[in-house]
Amino acid sequence: MAPTEDAATVDAQGRGRDEGIDPADQWVLNPDTGDYELRLTPSSGRSSAPAGTSGARTPGPRRRPKPEAAPSGDRASVPGQRGGRRAAGGGRGGRDEGRKAGSRAAAPTTGRRKAKPGKSRRKKALVWTGGVLAFLLVGTGTAGYLVYQHFNGNITAVSTDGAGTGGFSKDRAINVLVIGTDKRTGEGNEGYGDAGSVGHADTNILFHVSKDRTNATALSIPRDLITDIPNCPTTLESGEKKDIPATTGDRFNTSLGQSDRTPSCTMRTVTELTGLEVDHFMVADFNAVKSLTTAVGGVDVCLAKDIDDKDSHLKLTKGEHTLEGEQALAFLRTRHSVGFGSDLSRIEIQQQFLSSLMRKLKSNDTLTSPTKMWTLAEAATKALTVDDKIADINQLRKLGMELASVDPKNITFTTVPVLDNPDDKATVILDKSKAPQVFSMMRGDVSFTAVEKQEKAAAKAKNDAKLKGAMADAADVRVDVYNGGAPPGSAQSALDWLQNEEGVLKSTNKANAPEDVKKTQLVYAPNQADQARRLADMMGLSASALKPTTTDAGAMDPMVLTLGPDFTEAGSPLSAPQKAPDNIQRVEADKAVCAK
């Protein structure tokens, strides 16, 4: 089927051939839906012939139908909106509708109400935008109005190779992995990265949005973190399938580029590290940072001191600056002039930069400008490489709407807690006393900004009553341990931990449970409540995991602990802590911070 005139015109505009008209000027905000809609009014000489035909065009001024018949405040001349085509005699009802529109003009009180400006309009625009950039290395969502195939043609996609969940959904939490690669490609990037390198996972942020969309956490993963890279089934650029073997004790950044690894391998590595399954990935290179910061009109940053970094070539004075393009990239790659001069210091200023960008994207100045939104959308779709599950503009729009639904005041940037590696000062290792708590909070949708709904807090307090009361000594706790869906060997590892680390000697490994459970649970009798509270305290069991029976047990009867899929390793809390560990690094998205 031949394309419509509107579609052909968009294509012409995208190539700059439509009478010099900025295509963004053709998008109009519909206040009823919060969507920007393309509204093209043909000039008097434009042919209605489909694209590719030789229909004649007579140059002339663009003229719009006169709006006198519409009540004040309505866009009667805009086709597709109420009072538009119908007022001109088109659409359902033909001339009768035209007469009705005329009647509405004569008696405005009987027509539809005018859209209210101000707060409600801004709120709808905020919902519509989806955040503009799908959280990139520099943002928070994807453009919400990109509906034409023009933008699909900009998207570059890479296979997930079976990694991740297969795609986000509205009924659960969302995890999007954003990867900034240091591959040195593109004009003007000769001074960055390693010459001839295929690139690494240089900057890594796991953006987690809670199931109820009330809060989000952006977790930075240090590139120099020593971790295990799992086996990675991979589709090479040639189309060849290859299994890249697992390695142990490698830097996290080798999960991309090295040994032909693709972003799907970085996805698998993140899941192995955090226990969070990733829905999607997005990859940005140096050019992406430059083009996107330019498209948004620059990002505001604050410096607590002068910066003169010989490696990133950034030289800025103390105070406030607006950075874009080459200067923005240099800021994001600066580390020697901030903090302790390490990659962890660089992560901090990246988080401050991203939170500033989020605030700018949510501002009226950006949201109400179709021209800016068009420019951002064009830059974003060209700059990002995404997984093949969101290689469609409509899927990107839907994902962006979900990501952008979180209020910035409830978004926290944090970093995986790490310690200096005693064997290699250039790398870091996991802080096993704090990192499991951070991962657990994210898996449990606990906000790092302490944003909790009152009704949730009340329900939790009522449920937690089971955990209050006297606790038995560890030596008096009797428990049988079953594996009901946890990883193989979990019952034995839990038993070893209970006996050797916690002193629960009256415990037994009962191997596989008669049937699997959805989550770890502890079944106990009323007269074993003190034992149950002690075991729950040791293992970090939530009140909902405790399942009391109705009759008392015998003096020698054990409780029954069944380990479910939520069990990862002995000693790791099974219920998310409600408070973040002390002294972890954090930046809140709604607060401006000056880089030190």
Q: For residue 396, give the amino acid letter.
A: L
**Running DSSP on this structure, what letter comes out for residue 259?**
G
Ramachandran sector of residue 341 (left: φ over 0; alpha: ψ -120 to 50; beta: rest): left
pLDDT at 199 (0 to 100): 80
pLDDT at 346 (0 to 100): 82
pLDDT at 44 (0 to 100): 41
- Per DSSP, which regions of 337-427 are E strands? 385-387, 411-415, 418-420
Q: Is the torsion defined by CA of 117, 122, 125, 127 positive or negative?
A: negative
Parallel/antiparallel/unpaired status of strands 411-415 and 385-387: unpaired
Residue pair 89/98 in contact (Cβ under 8 Å)? The answer is yes
Parallel/antiparallel/unpaired status of strands 156-158 and 385-387: parallel
Q: Identify which of 255, 250, 270 has the alpha carbon closest to the alpha carbon of residue 427.
A: 250
In a 13 Å sphere around the CA of 562, the CA atoms on its Cβ side amount to 17
**Running DSSP on this structure, what letter comes out for residue 242?**
E
pLDDT at 285 (0 to 100): 83
Q: What structural domains and CATH numbers belong to the chain?
A: 1-52 (no CATH), 64-108 (no CATH), 131-285+370-446 (3.30.420.590), 461-563 (3.30.70)
pLDDT at 194 (0 to 100): 54
Residue pair 110/358 in contact (Cβ under 8 Å)? The answer is no
Q: Identify which of 106, 109, 90, 108 has the alpha carbon closest to the alpha carbon of residue 98.
A: 90
pLDDT at 364 (0 to 100): 67
Can you state the angle between helices 325-332 and 286-295, rounded to 10 degrees?
Answer: 120
DSSP 111-170: SPPPPP-THHHHHHHHHHHTBSBTTTTT-SSB-S---SHHHHTT-EEE--TT-S-SS--T
Q: Identify which of 124, 125, 118 has the alpha carbon closest to the alpha carbon of residue 370.
A: 125
Mean pLDDT, 10 residues at a time, the chain of 596 residues: 41 42 51 53 41 39 40 34 37 40 41 44 36 34 46 88 94 94 60 61 93 92 96 92 95 93 96 95 87 88 86 87 90 73 80 85 74 80 89 85 85 93 94 90 86 47 66 96 94 94 95 93 95 90 89 95 89 68 73 70
Ramachandran sector of residue 34 (left: φ over 0; alpha: ψ -120 to 50; beta: rest): left
Quote the CA–CA distance of 484 and 562 in Å, as a whole number.
6
Tokens at 27, concatenated: 């998008």
Ramachandran sector of residue 430 (left: φ over 0; alpha: ψ -120 to 50; beta: rest): beta
Tokens at 407, concatenated: 């209020």
Quote the CA–CA distance of 586 and 217 in Å, as a whole number.
10
Q: Please give the model's pTM, rounded to 2 decimal places.
A: 0.63
Q: For residue 457, give the amino acid letter.
A: A
